[in-house]
Structure 1
Amino acid sequence: MSVKAWRLFAVVVVVMLAACSFPSLEDEPSPRKASESVTRALKDVERFWGEQFPKLTGGREFQPIQGGYFPYTESDPPPACGGQQAGYSPNAFYCPDQDFIAWDAQTLIPSLEADYGPALVGVVMAHEYGHAIQQRIGPDDQPTVVLEQQADCYAGAWLADVLAGRSEAFKKLTPEQLDTTVAGLLLLRDQPGTPAAAEGAHGNAFDRIRALQEGVEDGAGQCAKYRANNLPVTEVPFSTRQEAATGGDLPYDDAVQALAADAQGYWQRTYPQLAGNQWPQLPVRAFEAGSPPACDKPDASAGGAAFYCPDGDFAAFDTTELGPQLHERIGDYAVGMLLGDLFARAAQDRRGAETRDRAGQLAVDCLAGSWTNDLLTRQDQDSLRLSPGDLDEAVSALLAFGRASDGSGPTAFDRIAAYRSGVLKGLSACQA
């Protein structure tokens, strides 16, 4: 099981420069509008660190970036960093030697603004400022992936300040805008199969979103504690050449059969721990688009193209459009996320718990994550297991299922956080 990019996210390869590298998108961006967003973001991030820095350092006064801010283009390249003059690339970076931040004002930032909005531009700038904070307080002896995710976490701490209404630059960030920002973060990830120990590794999307959310939830003080010995990095290299060649993806029919059987076996083993009784076999029915099996009150997912039927005690999903499209556009574990959701709805309903309100949906997402945890941590190499990119596929699927649009129910941001809890901590995280 592994990754294919959602067609919406048109990614191009860029050259690594200094600390960070971000891909550009094809659109009709407005450099002027994006420049205004960058200026507002940097001023607001400085305000944030003026308040937070003394709290992290026992009262030390915050010193803003001294070397300046530099938008650049092909005709006006960024300043030299560490004695090395770089050519043009669609990038954003912090230079520790000269203490400045530079960004591509021609392509990268205007494209991010156009496709994902100013909040993502703010997160990118807050991430780069996070590297400036590292330069001031450390650590300076950690792998790149730790430093990059710490900067993601610092960006999340700033984002929490925005969500709390303390920002004059970014007011009333809506749930839909927050979900769109998270969707943009899927671009800013390592290629599947990149080992976390690799030089320049930033982490997969699952880990980077986890770091951002940890900053939102727990603040900058938690981010400052990041070290190689306490960071839950999930990215692993491909285990075989064949797995790398296929991206780890099973063919669609094989994926459906294998994943459904594995979910069935997981709940047979764990449901007694959750509910105190045995797990009855859950039938999974296929149907053609627009012709679902009869069900009085379906507990729907994926816009109604998949559901658990409490009265008939079965799960069903569209196997002519929904399933194949998830597999083609995202990857095989997007199908796994769909099945995980359906089995989790059955588990929640069978134990007499709610699934349709906010708390119930988040419980379903956590339970789905607990199955992923089992796939991620099992030692049997002959059984079904996750491959590089699968967790990113799960996040992509959750965004597809749960983007905030009408203001009701939990946001995709909240659903990913609940799923993450199950993935990292297992079933025990979902039993409250």
Structure 2
Amino acid sequence: MSAPRRAPAAALVAALLLLATACSQVVPGSPRPGLAAAVSPATPAVAARSDPAGRVAAATAEAVQEFWRAEFPAAFGREWRDIGSFAAVETRDPAAPAPPCVNRATDVVDQAFYCPSADVVAWDADGLIPALHDRFGPAGVAVVIAHEVGHAVQSRLGVDAEQARAPQRFPTILLESMADCYAGAALAHFSDNPVAGLPLGPEERDRAMQALVGFRDPLGVEAGDAAAHGNAFDRVSAFQDGWTDGATLCAGMTIENRTFTQRRFASEADLARGGNLPLRELLAFVERDAAEFFGGLVPGWDPPELSTGGACSVAELEVQGPAAYCRADGGVAVDVAALQQLHEEIGDFAGATVLAGRYGIAALDASGRSPVGAQAGAAATCLTGAYTGRLFEAVEGFQLSPGDLDEAVQVLLAADWVARDAAGESDPDDHGFERIGRFRTGLLDGPGACR
């Protein structure tokens, strides 16, 4: 069966960036703010709102609470204690009452948080929640509410008390990852047991992850920083673990068994350019370095060179994306305009990720494995992660910059380019969730895990 014709890569990039740029914007938020205000009187359960985002928030709060009433005793052998209150804060109303743990309603602008001392989950009902709903749909609202309730789960398991005794064992980034993981567990339940008004199929699951990308740390924040919450890769990874393995895995997270990948800028020069090489330099580096890495996987093979023309390139780029493996001549063709647009809108490593996927397909072909079919696309995605893992250490003076893994996550969520085979096809049952999972396997476990 021949591959369907696809839109030229540059046009598809433009369409996908409508989605990708939304998740490249940081959605302000402070899930556990360090506010030392006097606790206000307890607020009632979240009031009904007529706006779509408000209805989703209220429905999610109720559904998440119901989930933990059953899951908490099943996972931990203890009864669940209902959260004291949920507060949808009308931050644009000057006369609105303040929720517990803050002085004014305006303190909650663009925020969602759990306050342990008052046992309240509160959120900005006028700004944050509608913005999430507009960008990501109901799943964007749900993942934020479920994350904050995840902090309440931690409190009920005694993590707050343990942190007070041994803060070095429970840095903020670990607590945030655990809450992301608990959110994944809750939303997985809603996927299997639908909640009215809260669809959670594969596309919505990806949108929840895109929302988490928006809460990533600013570039240059290191995992050990006191206020670190995690980069996009670490946050969506935690969400995935909760979705696939459930609440007991989340509770078992420690600084010893959890890998955090964010880093500071390695040099003033890297900081000055925002972690992005000019596209020409990036292409030259990837051509040399990917050839060395993938060539080492297939002894005796001469890896591809990059090209920008030729009959093969036109046909293959139409179906494979901004970069394509050409079986006829063994090269990798690039659509410079499409890669430049990715470079400008997401970052340099978005393009590097797409290129590495094509080198992965070429390596499969050279090794005697079929470069066509769902298994080829899956293996190429995993090998792309393995190649990325190589760059944690400096190679020719180049190494991963802060934000590079976030850029990889964004392009994996936005498009299936990395997972397309040599015919331009990808597994229709795969979505961003699966692509990131395979990329992560290669990154953490190396090319030997890419079967």
Cα deviation for residue 325 of structure 1 reads 0.6
| 1:215-364 mapped onto 2 (5 Å cutoff) | 215-269=242-296, 271-272=297-298, 277-287=299-309, 293-294=311-312, 298=316, 304-319=321-336, 321-364=337-380
| 1:7-406 mapped onto 2 (5 Å cutoff) | 7-9=21-23, 11=25, 14=28, 16=30, 18-19=32-33, 32-57=51-76, 59-75=77-93, 76-81=96-101, 87-140=107-160, 141=163, 142-163=170-191, 165-169=192-196, 173-269=200-296, 271-272=297-298, 277-287=299-309, 293-294=311-312, 298=316, 304-319=321-336, 321-376=337-392, 378=393, 380=394, 383-402=397-416
Task: Please name the residue that 2:43 is paired with.
Answer: none
Q: Structure 2 unaligned segments of length 5 or more: list them.
A: 1-16, 36-48, 164-169, 420-425
Q: 1:330 to 1:66 in 2, by over 3 A?
A: same
Task: Pick the structure with more helix per residue.
Answer: 2
- TM norm structure 1: 0.86
Secondary structure at the counterpart of residue 123 of structure 2: strand
Q: After superposition, what is the alpha-carbon deviation per residue over 1:227-269, rounded to whole angstroms, capped at 9, x for unaligned?
A: 1121110001112222212112111101110122111111222
Q: After superposition, what is the alpha-carbon deviation per residue over 1:33-85, rounded to whole angstroms, capped at 9, x for unaligned?
A: 1111011111111121112101232x211111023434332322532318898
Count of equivalent residues: 404
Cα deviation for residue 334 of structure 1 reads 1.2
Q: After superposition, what is the alpha-carbon deviation per residue over 1:84-108, rounded to whole angstroms, capped at 9, x for unaligned?
A: 9872421110010000010000011
Q: Structure 1 unaligned segments of length 5 or more: list them.
A: 22-29
- TM norm structure 2: 0.82
Cα deviation for residue 207 of structure 1 reads 0.5
Q: 1:336 to 1:308 in 2, by over 3 A?
A: same
Q: 1:197 to 1:282 in 2, by over 3 A?
A: same
Structure 2 Cα separation of the partners of residues 359 and 259 of structure 1: 24
Q: Do the aligned partners of 1:162 and 1:170 also contact (CA within 8 Å) in 2?
A: no
Q: After superposition, what is the alpha-carbon deviation per residue over 1:100-126, rounded to whole angstroms, capped at 9, x for unaligned?
A: 010000011011111110012111111
Structure 2 Cα separation of the partners of residues 373 and 68 of structure 1: 42
RMSD over aligned Cα, in angstroms?
2.9
Secondary structure at the counterpart of residue 225 of structure 2: coil
Q: Do the aligned partners of 1:295 and 1:311 also contact (CA within 8 Å) in 2?
A: no
Task: Please name the residue that 1:24 is paired with.
Answer: none
Structure 2 Cα separation of the partners of residues 19 and 359 of structure 1: 45
Structure 2 Cα separation of the partners of residues 63 and 352 of structure 1: 58
